[in-house]
Structure 1
Amino acid sequence: MATDGKKIVLITGANTGIGYETVKALLQSTQPYHIILGSRSVEKGNSAKAELQKEFPNTPTSIEVLQVDISSDKSIGDAFEKVKANHGHIDALVNNAGHSVQPVPGKRTLREAWNEDYDVNVSGTQVMTHVFAPLLIRAPGARLLFVTSGLASLQRLHGSWYAGGPEPSEPGWPKASENPLSAYRSSKTALNMMMLNWHYLLKPDGVKVFSISPGMLATNLGGIGPERLKAMGAGHPSIGGNIIKDVIEGKRDAEAGQVVAGQGVQPF
């Protein structure tokens, strides 16, 4: 597939939320791209592509839908073979696909909830990166991004329970203030360690590696719902998309190997 020398950007989970807004941000860039829009569902991916092309009919950036479910090794392997055959390299991999669930009596145990979050946010992301690394190192100036969370910061949590939440001061069990996002935030802390591993591993290849902390944004992640998140002060997902675009375009290169936030870097 000819891409006319455009930089090739692969984004997982790009049919919705921050991934979708990242595609929109790149479509509005003065730099033309070929975007590989990763989606677990081909139908949802094609629907997102159609909406984007309708909104931006004159963009020089092209979009290709790729079916990829990062919780499946086979799906990742099949996606790799397609991208390798069509392009031979990628200039940027944005590990955006994420997962957040809570235990539900009779439906999902505590262990299952934690395992689901780690399977996507850590294990699946690691496998996706490992499989696609050969295509990244073929591109000069390639970039590898991991979308993390402000909740992942150990330094921010130290000395307080969680941002905006009550101190768990009541005695007894269960705790009314038990954080329902413990699995999610712990998995994103692990993701930041993963990013550091890749940062040092790919340094000899010239690949710049980052975590991206977009802040609290109104997405569907975790099933809370965008409207409820907006009421809690969440920003528009386009904020995250624009941060990612800036990193892809080299505007935050001095912060490689760190957790890039809207302003400055987030402490580990």
Structure 2
Amino acid sequence: MSSAEVILVTGANTGLGFEIIRALCSSEKTYDILLAGRSLLKANEAVSSISKEFPSSPSKLWPLQVDIEDDDSIQKAFEEVHSKFSKVDALINNAGVQLDQQLASGKMTMRQMWNQSWNVNTTGTQVMTTIFIPLLLKSSNPRLLFITSGISTLEGTSNMALALNHPLPKGLPKPKFGIPAYRSSKTGMNMMMREWYKTLKEDGVKVWCISPGKLATGLGGSVEANKKMGAKDPADGGKFVCAVVEGHRDADVGKVVSVDGVQAW
């Protein structure tokens, strides 16, 4: 059995998750990296793509099928990882959705959109973490990361430089603006992280929320649309998450960390 650290990244066949895998593969350290996605086919395609890009990487990639909305899928993934590796050194909860636009376009009802936003971003992540904790506790240096958002901060809602914080015009109907379901589900994730920090502190697990900044991924729309709004290269986000995995923010456990420091609650 390999002595390399085992890193599991959910939602890793695209977007920030894909960039996290790329950053880990470009590291001089040796990892067994589990690239997890809802579709095993897409996970395999992502593994192939990154393996070709980094042929000299000391790390090895493994595709893993897991749908964090499906408890049976999570349990099956747990059993597969337990059988192959018997541990997980870092669990990076990256899988998430932004669905507010689905309500605005009439593709989802309000209840469907709000329930689904929390089901994936918060509840699904909670269940995924709970099931995988036994493997994390078998690590000599366990790390638990949750990918949150820069707009999840309660204090930050008073920042009027951000359009999302602007008051809406008086009267009804209100214009369909903002991403309140996504935003609040990530705020919920921040509290969930604090609960895990409290729960696992005496077990030696280092826990964070990671606020990578606005990235030009397909989350909530197209890559080009996000670029026009000033989104950064998602590769920068991947490198930042890799840096946290490799110990560069160990002084800030239990907090929401960004490249600029510690994000206000």
8 Å contact from structure 2 (residues 158, 165) kept in 1: no
Q: Aligned to 1:76, which of 51, 74, 77?
A: 74
Output the amino acid matched with 2:115: N
Q: Which of 241, 246, 250 is the matching residue for 1:249?
A: 246
Q: Deviations over 1:173-221 (max 9, x none)?
A: 1222x53310000000000000000011101110000000000000111
Distance 1:81 1:18 in 2: 26
Q: Deviations over 1:133-164 (max 9, x none)?
A: 0100110111000000001000000364x823
**Alpha-carbon distance in 2 for matches of 1:44, 1:86:** 21
Structure 2 counterpart of 1:261, one-letter code: S
The separation in 2 between residues aligned to 1:105 and 1:143, in whole angstroms, is 39
Identity over aligned residues, as a percent?
46
Partner of 2:96: 98
Aligned partners of 1:65 and 1:100: how far apart in 2? 24
Query: Does the residue aligned with 2:151 lie in a helix, a strand or coil?
Result: helix
TM-score by length of 1: 0.95
Q: Which amino acid aligns with 1:61?
A: S
- Contact 1:145-1:210 at 8 Å conserved across structures: yes
Please say if residues 32 and 59 of structure 2, whose CA atoms lie closer than 8 Å, have aligned partners that are also in contact.
yes
After superposition, the Cα gap between the structure-2 partners of 1:67 and 1:225, relative to the gap in structure 1 and judged at 3 Å, is same
Q: Which 5+ residue runs of structure 2 have no aligned equivalent?
A: none
1:163 is aligned to 162
Q: Deviations over 1:36-79 (max 9, x none)?
A: 00010011001101110111111110000000000000100100
Contact kept? 1:168, 1:175, Cα under 8 Å: no
- The CA distance in 2 between the partners of 1:150 and 1:22, in whole Å, is 18
Change (3 A) 1:186 1:250: same
Corresponding residue for 1:141?
141
User: C-alpha separation between the residues in 1 aligned to 2:69 and 2:234?
Assistant: 24
Superposition pairs of residues 74-223 of structure 1, within 5 angstroms = 74-102=72-100, 103=103, 107-158=107-158, 160=160, 163-165=162-164, 167-176=166-175, 178-222=176-220
Q: Distance in 1 between matches of 2:57 and 2:236?
A: 21
Please report how far the alpha carbon of residue 107 of structure 1 lies from its aligned counterpart in structure 2 after TM superposition: 3.3
| Cα pair distance change 1:179/1:169, threshold 3 Å | closer
1:156/1:267 contact within 8 Å kept: yes
Q: Is the 8 A contact 2:95 2:121 kept in 1?
A: yes
Q: 1:105 to 1:241 in 2, by over 3 A?
A: closer
Q: For 2:234 and 2:109, how far apart are their aligned partners in 1?
A: 30
Structure 1: distance between partners of 2:194 and 2:256? 10
Q: Which moved more, 1:87-96 or 1:98-107?
A: 98-107
